[in-house]
Amino acid sequence: MRSILKAINVQKVFGVKGNVYKALEDINLEIQEGEFVGIMGPSGSGKSTLLNILSTIDTPTSGDIIIDNQNIIKMNEEQLSDFRRNKLGFIFQDYNLLDTLTVKENILLPLALSKVPAKEIEQRVNELADTFGIREILNKYPYHISGGQKQRTAASRAIVANPSLILADEPTGALDSKSATSLLESLSTLNKVKQATIMMVTHDVYAASFCKRVLFIKDGRLVTELHKGQLQRKEFFQKILDILASLGGGDNDVI
């Protein structure tokens, strides 16, 4: 199995001498192609900081981050911009859709920017619309659809260019339970059928139970991990809950 993401001795320090705060300390992790990995931890644990660094939004104080065999720490801003567009897919809690474009146009935007042939664009968009159950709203605008439909549109846009790694930041945070389940089932299907590699930061135990592996972070350090293996989702849910309880909860991050 191919390594998609590797973080090596990653540290993030905020502040100046005499008033230093270590947000991340000696983070070492690896995600293989086709994994669906969750990141969880108590409030202030550093999970949002970790996601920002792994997604190239922020830079570590020290350490290396290898994504798809490329060390992103050594890239300049222009190289990082190209890398984000070609290799990473982002699913945010607040959708980030363009209201002036239809659902279909929002989804195909990354492909249009990359000058992918029209026939291939049509095929990819329709395939994802079926996976996420949004084919009937392709010609609607974001302000005409529900929050769940917006998030499934955003997920389709993140995935349409076949990125090496999909990064999801609290993707179910603004959704009702039915919409959240629909999104998580679609992501799970994508992971199983297309071998999409997904890393999801979440405070929601239900969302994490859809992952194949969950990493737990506390006080800026990775403290343990849990593999789903042959467990049923309800059993996995309970094990995640037990670990979070021992760590001190799993509320939204303040970092």
User: pLDDT tens for residues 195-253?
Assistant: 999 999 999 999 999 999 999 999 999 999 999 999 999 999 999 999 999 987 544 43
Instruction: Note the pLDDT of residue 183.
Output: 93
Instruction: Note the pLDDT of residue 255.
Output: 35
What average pLDDT score do residues 2-17 get?
93
Q: Are 36 and 211 in contact (CB under 8 A)?
A: yes
What average pLDDT score do residues 113-132 get?
92
What does pLDDT average to over the chain?
92
Strands 213-218 and 198-201: unpaired
Q: Kindly report the CATH number that applies to the domain delimited by 33-60+75-249.
A: 3.40.50.300
**pTM of the full predicted structure?**
0.90
Q: Measured between alpha carbons, how far is 133 from 103 in angstroms, rounded to an integer?
A: 12
Burial class for 21, CB neighbours closer than 10 Å (0-12, 13-18, 19+):
exposed
Q: 197: closest CA among 187, 184, 210?
A: 187
User: pLDDT tens for residues 38-67?
Assistant: 999 988 899 999 999 999 999 999 999 999
Lowest-pLDDT choice from 11-20, 129-138, 156-165, 177-186: 11-20
Residue 173: Cβ within 10 Å count: 16
